[in-house]
Amino acid sequence: MPEMRSKSSPTRVQTLFDNVSRTGATVAWTLIALVTFVDVVGREVFSMPIPGGYEIIQILMTIGVFFSLPIVALRRGHVRVDLLYQSMPASLKRLSDVFSKLVSIVYFSLLAWGTTQFFLHAMGTGERSVYLHMPHWMPALLMGAFLIATVFCCVITPSSDGPSES
């Protein structure tokens, strides 16, 4: 497991978010592989695909992606151009890190707000998935919760701790 990028030890809250997110994402990605394998074998060998297999995979992908977001925030794993970053003076690196953190907080807050709006809409209309008849508000609830967790992780993770090594 890659270490968190902060030079100081992670707090218990950071460790909790990391463990929950990592476990949820790992389970989701593993289940995607398993469902895909069983669905393909069932379809090709026995002419019996998993009923609702595509919807199951779509839901699991949503879970995998949104459970992974707090991990990226905690480990400061966002994309940056290292070639440019490494040539910056320390003061500009700190400014870049703070700017990146603020942009992340605003971006994920807006996504959380939009997802909350979708959640409320789905609750009100009772929309459901086509094959499994799963209420749309269920994945929206998970998405919103993990977007809020991502915002929280962006806030509690230090903006800068010098050059990080992976």
- Quick check: 13 pLDDT over 70? yes
Q: Is 84 exposed, middle or buried (0-12, 13-18, 19+ CB in 10 A)?
A: exposed
Considering only residues 162 and 32, tell me which one the structure prediction assigns the higher pLDDT: 32
- Contact of 116 with 148, CB cutoff 8 Å: no
Average pLDDT for residues 52-57, to the nearest whole number? 95
- Quick check: 165 pLDDT over 50? no
Percentage of the chain beyond pLDDT 90 is 76
* Residue (of 36, 82, 68) closest to 147 by Cα position: 68
- Quick check: 109 pLDDT over 80? yes
* Span between the terminal Cα atoms of the chain, in Å: 11
Name the band, by pLDDT with cuts 50, 70 and 90, for residue 78: confident
Percentage of the chain beyond pLDDT 70 is 90
Q: Is the pTM of this model over 0.75?
A: yes
pLDDT of residue 77: 81
Residue 165's CB is within 10 A of a number of other CB atoms, namely 6
- Quick check: 14 pLDDT over 70? yes
Q: What does the domain layout of the chain look like in residue ranges?
A: 12-156
- The angle that helices 137-156 and 53-74 make with each other, rounded to 10 degrees, is 10
